[in-house]
Amino acid sequence: MKRARSRSSPPLVSRTTAVDEPAFAAAFDALPSPRTTWSAPDDALVLGGGAAATLTAAGGDRFGSIREAAAELFESGDVHAGTEAARPRVFGGFAFHEGACDGEPWGPFPEARFVLPRVQLTVADNGAWLTVNAVGDDADVSAVEDRLAREVDRFAALDRSDDAAAASAASRPPRPGIRESRRTTSREAWRDSVGAAVDRIRAGDLRKVVLAQALEADLAADFPRAATLERLAEKYPDCHRYWFEPDAGDSAFFGATPERLVSLRGRTVETDALAGTTGRGETPNEDEWLARELLDDEKNVHEHELVAETVRDQLEPFAASIAAGERRVRRLATVQHLHTPITAELDADRHVLELVEALHPTPAVGGLPPDRALATIRETEPFDRGWYAAPVGWIDAAGNGAFAVAIRSAVASPRRATLFAGVGVVSDSDPDREWDEVQLKYRPILDELEGDGAGGSLDQ
Ligand SMILES: C=C(O[C@H]1C=CC=C(C(=O)O)[C@@H]1O)C(=O)O
């Protein structure tokens, strides 16, 4: 097992100043690689460029290793953040399980990687902020202040967010179109594997397993990075949106997920149980009808309750109190899900990665019992999950953090994208309906690849 290593060593110098908000695409394009973006409904938008420090780890101890490396990084700092949202945070994610990054397209992705951006734009309720971070040999206060002054000048020359032409959808590069696509799993293979999982569940060997597929698409034109993120932000404003570029190569892992894994602030924990899916209707009435049917559907409610119960059980050892809200329907642009919000107060101070490790993988992406479900996933799926369905998010110096489950996601390079989507299999799952559900879950990303470019769309 590899230990986490920090490529630079503390101390850390961080300086921030208020700036006029640049247009998203202009800021994204102005940042150096590796770029990071993070955006959540209750969080500031962060765009990071370059790496003042990179923490990587692998193996079963990757959560603990990153925690140690982050503690070391944040140990001694000279920080003038200006606003809370611009305080130093490392952004990144984990592999779904050990060995999940072995195959393509995961080559450049370690099993855990977090970055303290070298240059960071933070767009919060109280305005836009530009930060320069430096660590180790680069951590010289006057050099950081000079760099910040240069970055402020550079960003001042960019299009502004309130410039209608820069922000207009019409001026964006079109969606690239798909020239050719390949599925990892044929319909026959899917029927066989879902059927085999159902048999094991009925035999009492498993309670639930989430099986996924991948879809590789050759793009007809270059993948428009910033425009795709802008379109996802408009269509999925209530989702966690993320973009992670590895250190090498020209790919990125990105997505717009409705599923929060956990957020920790002080001792207050918020999490979601999200499982059980139906489509969107053509009309508001049809939407309502589908939502009511989902709330009453035994198979979906069972699939959902296994997640809600397990999340509560997994939080129990850490919690002074836990409260679950009412089960309701969460409506997204392409699907509707059963959703139970869960909150807890911890019994002691904890690091968010302790909770991430305890909760991942929830049965919304793994299954029950966890070990048997994971073994089934490894035996069944003919591709590597990499960071798909794994925790992505951020950590700060106090051990607070927010993590989402990286579903509705893909790895994209300029001319290729690999998309991932899965479904919860329970005792009365029907393979063909589950196949259709996988296709719905590709939609958030697929809609941004198909369409108005030169290429075509996917046959379902
Ligand atoms: C595993 C995925 O979705 C999970 C989250 C919400 C609903 C799910 C379901 O109804 O099967 C899945 O558990 C995915 O989108 O790849």
How much distance in Å is there from the Cα of 275 to the middle of ligand 1? 6
Amino acid identity of 454?
A: A
Residues 6+ apart with CB under 8 A from 337: 258, 274, 275, 276, 277, 329, 330
Percentage of the chain surpassing pLDDT 90?
Answer: 90
* 276 ligand 1 Cβ < 6 A: yes
pLDDT at 444: 97
Whose CA is closest to 245, among 14, 22, 48, 7? 48
Q: Which residue has the tokens 């939609």?
A: 443
- Positions annotated as catalytic residues are 208, 259
d(CA 304, CA 108): 34
Nearest CA to ligand 1 atom 13: 364
pLDDT for residue 455 is more than 90: no
**What does the pLDDT average to over 211-229?**
97
Model pTM score: 0.95
Alpha-helical (H) ranges within 47-172 are 62-74, 141-156, 164-167
> 257: CA distance to ligand 1 center in Å?
10
Mutate to test the pocket of ligand 1, among 435, 441, 443 (most ligand atoms within 8 A of CB): 441
**1 pLDDT above the threshold of 50:** no
Torsion of the alpha carbons at 381, 387, 391 and 393, rounded to the nearest 10: -160
Question: Residue 117 pLDDT > 80, yes or no?
Answer: yes
Average pLDDT over residues 88-95: 98
Place of tokens 């050719």: 180
Q: Look up the ipTM and state it.
A: 0.99
Q: Is the pLDDT reported for residue 311 higher than 90?
A: yes
- Percent helix, strand, coil in the chain, to 5, is 30, 35, 35
For 251-310, how does the pLDDT look when each residue is reduced to its tens digit (9 = 90+)? 999 999 999 999 999 999 999 999 999 999 999 999 999 999 999 999 999 999 999 999
pLDDT, averaged across the chain:
94
What atom of ligand 1 comes closest to residue 275's alpha carbon?
7
In Å, how far are 73, 81, 99, 117, 166 from 77, measured between CA atoms?
Answer: 8, 11, 34, 15, 37
Q: What is the mean pLDDT of residues 43-62?
A: 97
Q: Is the CB of 330 under 6 A from ligand 1?
A: no
Residue 307 Cα: closest atom of ligand 1:
13
Q: What is the pLDDT of residues 121-178, one digit of tens each?
A: 999 999 999 999 999 988 999 999 999 999 999 999 998 988 867 667 778 999 999 9
**Ligand 1 pocket residue status of 419, Cβ below 6 Å:** no
pLDDT at residue 249 in the model: 87
Query: ∠ CA(176), CA(178), CA(180), 5° rounding?
Result: 150
* Per-residue pLDDT reduced to its tens digit, 349-371: 999 999 999 999 999 999 999 99
Residue 423 in contact with ligand 1 by CB distance below 6 A: yes
The residue whose C-alpha atom lies closest to atom 10 belonging to ligand 1 is 276
Q: Is residue 82 scored above 90 in pLDDT?
A: no
Closest CA to 430 of 190, 186, 184, 185: 190
**Hey, how many other C-beta atoms are within 10 angstroms of the C-beta on 162?**
10
| Distance in angstroms (rounded) separating the CA atoms of residues 81 and 74 | 14
